Amino acid sequence: MKQLTYEESILISQKAILEKYSDIEPEDLEEHLTEDELETFSGFYDYNNKPIGGDNPYYECSCCGISDPQINSYLFNHSKYCDYRENTLKEIKR
């Protein structure tokens, strides 16, 4: 039997979590997920970002305006209505 790659096994875990909470609105998910489940949705770096500007040396998500350090690659650290977050959740469910 073929061994799953790390990415494949994470994706399967993410799909299973979203399936488990399928009756919950995507905006409300992070209030229901356990710490471990939230942890499963890390490593998301592929969102568009832009400099925060002023004296701030950091970047922020172009969509929701939350800073990169606050997001820290966690999908659920984007704002509830961030298009990137919404679209990524749809991609995972596919």
Contacts to Zn ion by CB under 5 A: 61, 63-64, 78, 82, 84
- Our CB check for Zn ion shows the closer of 40 and 49 to be 49
Nearest distance in Å: CB 25, Zn ion = 17
Amino acid at 48: N
Q: Are the C-beta atoms of 93 and 18 separated by less than 8 Å?
A: yes
Residue 84 CB, nearest approach to Zn ion (Å): 5
Chain centre distance of CA 38: 9
Q: How far is the CB of 2 from Zn ion (least distance, A)?
A: 35
**Identity of the residue, 64 or 92, whose beta carbon is nearer to Zn ion in the bound complex:** 64
Distance from the first to the final alpha carbon of the chain: 24
Please, what is the Cα angle at 36 between 24 and 79, to 5 degrees?
50
